[in-house]
Amino acid sequence: MPAAFSPLPHAGEKSTITVAIAKFQERPTTMQIAASIFSFTATPPPLCVCHFPSKTNLPNSLSSSKPSLPSPLLSLSPPRKLICRPPSGKYVREDYLVKKYSAAEVQELVKGERNVPLIIDFYATWCGPCILMAQELEMLAVEYESNALILKVDTDDEYEFARDMQVRGLPTLYFISPDPSKDAIRTEGLIPIQMMRDIIDNDM
């Protein structure tokens, strides 16, 4: 669909997806963002529930429960044949890979030295598409590992920071390159994971 150019998104405009590119400077003055707005039918992300396997590699507790009654089955059981290599459990942890940051921490990160692109996800507690975006960002974090830094900011907690960053529709993503001469990219709304990969690979 053709893109339309308009100033900052405001009430009444399509809020499906807004892409804005802003030049990130260390001494900013005023902010004018030329936004291109287009309607987009996103490809549905894999809507799998992110189940983490409940099985662990812990030894079978039954084998040590009743030593007085040795079970012939346990002692003579044939070795298990692995059909496939079990997952290493690298990302099986309680916390998400994408961590929640405060405004101060984000500011420090942006100003500090970085070698990798920074992706900031502005979300809200009860925003539905933010949930889907969070799933996508988790997958992205697994793919890129240490080659990209992905974090999220709760706009209800960091109210003023979100206002300063001119966050309107949620979720809003900011892609900030480690190269200060490159423009930052802002997207508004749910975007497919491939678009995020393209932005990181090509524009960061």
Binding status of residue 93 toward another protein by CB under 8 A: no
Q: How far is the CB of 83 from another protein (least distance, A)?
A: 31
Q: Which is nearer to another protein, 116 or 192 (CB)?
A: 192
φ, ψ for residue 5, nearest 5 deg: -100, 135
Residue (of 139, 167, 138) closest to 155 by Cα position: 167
- Residue choice 140, 151, 165, 196 for contact with another protein (CB under 8 A): 165
**Alpha carbon separation from 19 to 8, 108, 146, 169, 186 (Å, rounded):** 10, 25, 26, 12, 6
Q: Catalytic residue numbers?
A: 127, 130
CA atoms within a 13 Å half-sphere pointing along the CA-CB vector of 190: 15
Residues 167-196 that bind another protein (CB under 8 A): 167-170, 172, 183-185, 189-190, 192, 195
Closest CA to 131 of 52, 186, 50: 50
98-117 residues near another protein, rule: CB under 8 A: 100, 103-104, 106-107, 110-111
Per CB under 8 A, contacts with another protein among 46-75 are 47
Nearer Cβ to another protein (148/185): 185
